[in-house]
Copies of this chain bind each other. A is one copy, B any other.
Amino acid sequence: MSPQAATLESTDFQSWLRSRIRQVEETLDQTLASIDVVPGRLHEAMRYAVLGGGKRIRAALVYAAGEASLQSGSAAPAQQIALDQAAAAVELVHAYSLVHDDLPCMDDDTLRRGRPTVHVQFDEATAMLAGDALQPLAFEALASMPIAPALVVQAIQLLARAIGSQGMVGGQAIDCDSVGRVLAQDDLQQMHRMKTGALLEASVLLGGIVAGASSSTREGLTRYAAAIGLAFQVADDILDVTADTATLGKTAGKDAAENKPTYVSTLGLEGSRELLHVLREEAHSALLPLGPSAASLSSLADYIVGRDR
């Protein structure tokens, strides 16, 4: 058994997570324009897409990586604001990507987190435009962080690369082109690394950049991020076959029904669970040099892996 990085007690982690979710949701509420601002219907759709719940794992990664990286142990007020804005930025991007993925020309999903998807609740044009407007709002949130401009620019470069044609959107494009085909495990891994992993990894590194992480801390964060980015997708694929629609809040078994390549279809259920275990050990091992300040990050790794139960 590999050495374990320090983690939080289960109740401490739950309370840490609740508090960070509250923080990012307050920031999102303030960042999004009110529905009284013209065009009201567009702002209503943006708020519906962003504020309708969600696990806020990406925001939690920003906070946890930030807290693990602070040189002084606790965040200065300006750093705290910057962490809130970076956490909001990754959730805005995540929300936009879900809205566009759900559109009829993409996955054509009608249910998300137990509610009608944005194009069902509003209409297709409004859903597309809401996604289009959430993206610059994310960059505006980063550009407004009250920290050294050179760090702001680094953060923006990182996010822009992570969500572009060689990151999140590129992974989505490969996914679309692969429906009905069987992908080799390497190709499957590259697709997921881009589609889901890139934004999760960027969330971890953004927290580090904002908190002024040393280069050795950044190295640990990078290894951790790669492991949990992949673990997240493996856990998702397992959930798609083991959970039911009510638990998921979205249509279960959809990937299998559409003959979409998944880890379960490639490695089987047991093989996928073994991979998940290896990735969890890798994430913990990457955090060992960071010491006890990384406890919320290690707990997050367990949380992400534990989603298959």
Dominant secondary structure at the A interface: helix
Quick one: which of A127-180 are within 8 Å of B by CB?
Answer: 128-129, 131-133, 135-137, 139-140, 143-144, 148-150, 152-153, 156-157, 159-161, 163-166, 169-170, 172-174, 176-177
A148–B153 alpha-carbon span in the complex (Å): 10
Name the residue among A38, A39, A137 with the largest chain B CB count within 10 angstroms.
A39
Of A99-107, A209-217, A271-279, the one touching chain B = A99-107
**Across the interface, do B41 and A177 meet the contact criterion of CB distance under 8 Å?**
yes
A106–B103 alpha-carbon span in the complex (Å): 13
In the complex this chain forms, how many copies of it are found? 2
A108 shortest CB reach to chain B, Å: 10
A226–B39 alpha-carbon span in the complex (Å): 21
A126–B152 alpha-carbon span in the complex (Å): 31
Is A42's beta carbon under 8 Å from chain B? yes
Query: Which residues does A use to contact B, with CB under 8 Å?
Result: 33, 37-39, 41-43, 46, 100, 103, 105-106, 123-126, 128-129, 131-133, 135-137, 139-140, 143-144, 148-150, 152-153, 156-157, 159-161, 163-166, 169-170, 172-174, 176-177, 190
8 residue pairs A–B, Cβ–Cβ below 8 Å: A33-B165, A39-B174, A100-B128, A105-B123, A105-B125, A105-B128, A136-B159, A143-B153
